[in-house]
Structure 1
């Protein structure tokens, strides 16, 4: 039974969105993974990432278009993923790295400010015990 035009349009749009979701997840994973020198660990991380991504995309498609997995869905997911990687990936990745650096710096400052009074107290206690 052929699908009506509205359902086909929704199928196309949700497939494109699924490709963009895959691209965003890939950029997040790329930021988390960094550069590993251990090849076995990298292979395991990659396999686990793609399994998680497949589950997320399948769940998204299940809830949005009842998981119609036709060849067109795969084609449009790949097309939108390639568009994302060509157009948006570099900007998103640089913004992600900037946010990660700011969060890391904030955590270090907070940690040092919490530890500093403790160091002073311990240094005074140790000095009095001698």
Structure 2
């Protein structure tokens, strides 16, 4: 059964977007994984990442084009992933690093502001100040 051109166009478009989504997730994974990790841990992390990425991409395709997975869907996903990794990844990687840095800074600031009153209450209850803790 032939599909109308509009549906075929949508399938190709969503396959391209799925490849880009996979590339963005891969950049996030590279940031989270870090650099100095034992090879065995990297192997396990890679398996977990690609399993999660497959589930996310399948869910994305399920909602956008009813999980129509023809050969050209895979081809266009690979093409867009390779295009992303070759030309766009370095820019997006830098942007993701900046965003994660800002999120870390804000969460650290919020955490310190939440912990500070708790430290004050604890020091009032225990009757010790910072100078007394250093002496003892």
Q: Which residue of 1 aligns with 2:107?
A: 107
1:82-130: CA deviations, max 9, x gaps? 11112221111111111222222333344445555626973892268x9
Native 8 Å contact 1:36 1:42 kept in 2: no
Identify if the C-alpha distance between structure 1 residues 115 and 7 changes in structure 2 by more than 3 Å, giving closer, same or farther: closer
**Mapping 1:18-57, distance limit 5 Å:** 18-57=18-57
**Matched residues in 2 for 1:100 and 1:30: separation?**
13
**Matched residues in 2 for 1:65 and 1:41: separation?**
35
RMSD: 2.5
**Mapping 1:21-100, distance limit 5 Å:** 21-100=21-100
- 1:126 pairs with 113, 117, 128, which one? 128
**Matched residues in 1 for 2:123 and 2:78: separation?**
59
**Matched residues in 1 for 2:113 and 2:87: separation?**
41
SS state at 2:3 partner: coil
TM-score (norm 2): 0.80
Aligned residues: 129
**Matched residues in 2 for 1:54 and 1:8: separation?**
22
Higher mean C-alpha displacement, 76-85 vs 30-39: 30-39
